[in-house]
Amino acid sequence: MSTSPRTPRVRARRSPVVLIGERLIEVLIHACGLSAVILVFSIFAFVFREGFTMLGRLDWGQFLGSIEWYPSSHSNVRYGTLALLAGTASVSLGAMTVAVPVGIGAAVFVSEFCSGRLKEVLKIAIEVGAAIPSVVWGFIGLVIVNPLLIDLFDAPMGLNALNGALLLAMMCLPVIISVGEDALKAVPDSYREAAEAMGATRWQMVVRVLLPAARNGLLAAVLLGVGRAIGETMAVLMATGHAVHLPTSPLDSVRTLTATIAAELGETARGSDHYQVLFVIGMMLFAITFVINLLADLIVRGSRR
């Protein structure tokens, strides 16, 4: 409480209406804050409710260990997701092998090697890149990358893991670059000054001083990118060829977990086994992204310490 002589007078003049209004707004803001938490929990609760009766009945050995995905078979229904998991993993890994070096390199460039106008333009361009809808990326995969891959690699078909990985890399790059740049910016200037004082070249400064110092933040950037890659649906649905198949080469068509849900959920009867298994796949995706986000969070916390 302030003891200044003016404060009590101001307080006295406030009408009850204003006070109630203020209280209401406070409650409203609280509710807005809580709504994010409530939403996430209700989504999880919904996904769990639709799929949980399947959890007990599911043949987990087959679910996780078999590639045989035959949800609508007349003779022998099989729900093996191994090929779908491999599809998600291969596309995400492929995306990361492209996006991590390019993204970190771009972050270093934006943060350390350019300034003024160029930096501003680059930052805006990166932000615009993050805003391109995924269906647009999917379309690019379909009409541009597809014929390109056929020409370049003599592939029988350009809709494959490589196509999906390239698109996902493009989609993760903005995340990796902007979070990575923030991490580099957080390295105190005294490190840079010390490195220069020791006579280090710029390359030596980046590789031996800045990257180790920003290690945790950069790792978080990469993990956020991975999360985006695993959760992405539309672009991979359009670009990967959608084939249930254990990939042995980047030019093989694959099918991802998310694309399977997107393609099949619309036409399954509500409450059927197939419907519930798709929700179990949803839970699996939830678990994977949760673990990745948790890791990213723990690492960011580590880097603040």
Task: State the DSSP H helix or E strand holding residue 78, giving kind and residue range, or none if neither.
Answer: strand 78-79
Burial class (CB in 10 A: 0-12, 13-18, 19+), 39: exposed
Interface with another protein, residue 266, by CB under 8 A: yes
Site string for another protein, 6-25 (x = CB under 8 A): --------------------
Going by C-alpha positions, the residue among 102, 253, 236, 258 that lies closest to residue 180 is: 102
Cβ nearer to another protein, comparing 68 with 112: 68
Binding-site residue total for another protein (CB under 8 A)? Answer: 31
Residue number with CB closer to another protein (224 or 244): 244
**Region at 271 (left for phi over 0; alpha for psi -120 to 50; beta for the rest):** left
Residue 254 dihedral angles phi and psi, to the nearest 5°: -135, 170
When asked if residue 268 is in the footprint of another protein (CB under 8 A), the reply is yes
Cα(210)–Cα(223) distance, integer angstroms:
19
The interaxial angle of helices 273-304 and 215-231, nearest 10 deg, is 170
Name residues contacting another protein, limited to 78-107 (CB under 8 A): 83
Q: Which stretch binds another protein (CB under 8 A): 36-44, 88-96, 201-209, 239-247?
A: 239-247
Q: Does 241 bind another protein (CB under 8 A)?
A: yes
In whole angstroms, how close is the CB of 12 to another protein at the nearest point?
A: 52
Phi-psi category of residue 141: left, alpha or beta, with phi > 0 → left and psi -120 to 50 → alpha: alpha
Give the SS3 label for residue 79. Answer: strand
Q: Is 112 in the site for another protein (CB under 8 A)?
A: no
Q: Which is nearer to another protein, 5 or 156 (by Cβ)?
A: 156
Nearest CB to another protein, comparing residues 159 and 296: 159
Q: Which residue of 145, 166, 230, 244 would you call a contact of another protein, by CB under 8 A?
A: 244
Q: Site residues (CB under 8 A) for another protein?
A: 67-76, 83, 147, 154, 156-157, 159, 237, 241-245, 253, 255, 263-264, 266-270
